[in-house]
Amino acid sequence: MSLLENISKNIYSLDKSSMSQAKQRLDRLIKPTGSLGKIEDICMQLAGIYENKYFDTSKKAIIAFGGDHGVYEEGVAPDPQNITQLQFPNFAKGICGVGVLSKFVGADVIAVDVGVNCDHKLEGVLDYKIRKGTSNMAKGPAMSREEAIRCLEIGIEVAEECIKNGYKVIGIGEMGICNTTPSSAIISVIDNCDPEEVTGIGAGLKKEKLKHKAETIRKAIELNKPNRDDAVDILAKVGGFELGAMAGVVLACAANRIPVVIDGFISYASALLAYKINPKTKEYMIASHTSAEAGTEKALEIIKLSPLLNMDMRLGEGSGAALAFNIIEASNYTYKNMATFDEVNWVDRD
């Protein structure tokens, strides 16, 4: 049995008993029942994930993957492709968006090259390069099925190593010029909608070029005919190495009972792939924020995730996931430290 098959078969639902115990405590806190909203939802979800009434969320990491895309040659992105190799080492240095936000919230960033278009090793970045970018999906499959499985398994391997090293909350992030194009393609295939409905400006594409971007995605889907019921086939036909690796992290976290914090639009596509492989992965996901990128609502609607934040962000990298770490920590701290009616000898409200 392959690593991917083994992981996907070992994902189980949340522990209802621990969730019930958490709810009982939350209902006894000195406040109106349910008045802390998503804070309470987070705590019950975490109890179910960790199989314990109390849990530790202090050691956190963003696992970010870098990869380039052959479809770049179709003119679907405004920036030079070499920005991927220039920016990605800054994840490890902690000086880019996700880097500084992670420092602020006390989280680590693990940067992993799965397909950056360069020959040299990137400073501070783990080298798991499959090859120097995917093939042009507008001319044929983005990758082979074997490569699709490999990038999923890289995500699994890196995540399991982090879990072995004691990380209790993991977020996903990415870097790859024009990776909103394969992300929109994945969402379009899974939702069975026209690409135009889920195609946005990405890192700043001029609006007059949106139609060309959507047409490129449509062409790729018509040419490659991905099977919408087969996540690996979708990934191979119209995906990206970093997208597959992030999906692998989601699968590994679910199999190891660790919460996985989803970032923005690009990570929604990865989350959808993991969800198609095993729908139970959804129970382990925490959506950090509502991306400003087109297609967000459709992606979140399919998985039925409700994001914690709406900050009009579309940076990616894992930046939204890093912000959400503080909300998760605040939720846990409130849950553990707020007094109960019993502790203050109050008469029940009812």
The residues near 178 (Cβ < 8 Å, ≥ 6 apart) are 69, 71, 72, 76, 77, 81, 202
Q: Cα 224 to the chain's mean position, in Å?
A: 25
**Cα gap 211→195, rounded to integer Å:** 10
Torsion angle of alpha carbons 13, 15, 16, 21, nearest 10°? -160
Known catalytic membership, residue 293: no
| Angle 144-192-174 from CA coordinates, rounded to 5° | 50
User: Which residues is 172 bridged to in the sheet?
Assistant: 63
Distances (CA, A) of 244 to 115, 147, 248, 272, 347: 11, 9, 6, 11, 53
Q: Identify the active-site residue in 74, 160, 293, 317.
A: 317
Cβ pair 343, 28 in contact under 8 A: no
Amino acid at 162: C
The residues near 27 (Cβ < 8 Å, ≥ 6 apart) are 33
- Which positions are catalytic? 317
